[in-house]
Amino acid sequence: MAATRPSRHRPRGQSRPNPRSRRSGIPAPTPARPVAVAPVESDNPFLALGVPEQLCGALAASGITEPFPIQSATLPDSLTGRDVLGRGRTGSGKTLAFGLAVITRLSTLDIRCRPSRPRALILAPTRELALQIDATVAPLARLMGLRTTTIFGGVGQNPQVDALRRGVDIAIACPGRLEDLIGQGHCRLDDVEISVLDEADHMADLGFLPGVKRLLDRVPSDAQHLLFSATLDKGVDVLVKRYLHDPVTHSVDSEQSPVQTMTHHVLHVRSDDRVPVVVDLAAAPGRTIIFTRTKHRAKQLTKQLNANGVRAVEMHGNLSQAARTRNLSEFSSGRAAALVATDIAARGIHVDDVSLVVHADPPIEHKAYLHRSGRTARAGAEGVVVTIAVETQRREVEKLMKKAGISPTVTVARPDAPILSEIAPGQRLKAG
């Protein structure tokens, strides 16, 4: 274990000393681009939580006028500088919860970012999640005159190095590439005032905790720490005890219980019928995410869907970052009706309005089932989850559901079974 830094005994909620305020030679933040800002009513809930009026107006212009429970719970504490442990399922609004806290805290301190020294660090487990966090945070940060950048592998590092050299307020990073850049002398974390760890349990599942610890050991001991996670496993607890000082904990839902608006089905099918059943479900109106256990199966099933007239794209670890970004854009925009993915997408991809999740291959662990299924029924919307089980998988799926606390509707199904139209209603949309 790394040596513990001596405490600076700064009371929580009190700003760090500012010896470099308006220091000459430090690049100024990028001027804010024009952002639509709606008039803010005096009873705006975000304003009452302590969010600046400019940010409230930008949120209102985007149609966001009511905070989610995780935002209402955590913002009063995070905005005063408290360390916060927030637990909520993916889709519960965690990104905006910590994003508003980081932007507000940084904008209230009269400090300019120094080259290669970000003022805030947001760690994410996957490239896709880092990009999606940036898509939410960057426009609001620009509005407050703050710079952001993303740091992750799979792409050339030069643009990331250049951004750091120019100076950024908020670095949204995956642990591996950030450690590489620090090792090369392109980044230092000794100016970090706020650190955020998003999807902490997924970090643990992927084996990233050693790297996360090495990074957080470089952050000043008096920095504010915000940790958000869907579950509070043993690995997450280690991080909480090591880095969070007197944290306030907010949980907005049960760790294991399914989302109430999510309907679960298990379809018992013959092996030869598995693909035709998946094709029929994916051809229904709306966005569908289909999970497989292996990269080979994801590629194979994507080809089978497209061959049957269902526009589908794949998402797995064998794809380049450019291909993953392009495919996610195709799916998010609606140009592709189905996304066929391995578990890389279970926690790292946030797409709204996914009406159906299909487990073409049942996951091995119940936690994976819940994480995969969480791609639908986001933000209170309704969603349907279907697990396909061939003859040899029926007992395995029964045990899986029991561990997950799910009581699904179980049906024996053929490609022309009426249950398919009940699960995914609407005219089947197939190209050609």
DSSP states of 62-76 as a string? TT--S--HHHHHHHH
pLDDT digits (tens, 9 = 90+) for 298-307: 999 999 999 9
236 or 255, which is more confident? 236
At 347, the pLDDT band (50, 70, 90 cuts) reads low
Query: Could you tell me if 35 and 17 are in contact, meaning their C-beta atoms sit under 8 angstroms apart?
Result: no
- Exposed, middle or buried, 397 (CB in 10 Å: 0-12/13-18/19+)? buried
pLDDT digits (tens, 9 = 90+) for 165-218: 999 999 999 999 999 999 999 999 999 999 999 988 888 877 889 999 999 999
Q: What is the rounded average pLDDT of the residues 54-82?
A: 92
Q: What is the pLDDT of residue 333?
A: 87
Residue 191 makes CB contacts below 8 A (sequence gap 6+) with: 113, 114, 117, 118, 119
Query: Could you tell me if 295 and 316 are in contact, meaning their C-beta atoms sit under 8 angstroms apart?
Result: yes
At 350, the pLDDT band (50, 70, 90 cuts) reads low
Type and span of the H or E element at 309: none
Two structure tokens written together for 91: 């889709």
**10 has pLDDT over 60:** no
Euclidean distance between CA atoms 397 and 390, whole angstroms:
10
197: which strand partners?
A: 123, 227
At 324, the pLDDT band (50, 70, 90 cuts) reads confident
Q: What is the pLDDT of residue 11?
A: 41
Query: Could you tell me if 309 and 283 are in contact, meaning their C-beta atoms sit under 8 angstroms apart?
Result: yes
At 420, the pLDDT band (50, 70, 90 cuts) reads very high
- Exposed, middle or buried, 26 (CB in 10 Å: 0-12/13-18/19+)? middle
Sheet containing 383-389, strands listed edge to edge, beginning at the edge strand earlier in sequence: 312-315, 338-341, 287-291, 354-359, 383-389, 262-268, 409-412
Type and span of the H or E element at 224: strand 224-229
Q: What is the pLDDT of residue 346?
A: 56
Instruction: List the single range of 11-20, 176-185, 222-231, 383-392 with lowest mean pLDDT.
Output: 11-20
**62 has pLDDT over 50:** yes
pTM greater than 0.75: no
Euclidean distance between CA atoms 84 and 247, whole angstroms:
5
170 or 321, which is more confident? 170
Query: Could you tell me if 114 and 136 are in contact, meaning their C-beta atoms sit under 8 angstroms apart?
Result: no
Euclidean distance between CA atoms 57 and 62, whole angstroms:
9
At 251, the pLDDT band (50, 70, 90 cuts) reads confident
At 221, the pLDDT band (50, 70, 90 cuts) reads very high
**34 has pLDDT over 90:** no
Q: Rg for the chain (alpha carbons), in Å?
A: 23
User: Please, what is the average pLDDT of the chain?
Assistant: 84
Query: Could you tell me if 137 and 170 are in contact, meaning their C-beta atoms sit under 8 angstroms apart?
Result: yes
Q: What is the pLDDT of residue 382?
A: 65
Percent of the chain as helix, strand, coil, to the nearest 5: 40, 15, 45
| Region class of 314: left (phi > 0), else alpha (psi between -120 and 50), else beta | beta
User: Domains of the chain (ranges plus CATH)?
Assistant: 45-251 (3.40.50.300), 262-423 (3.40.50.300)
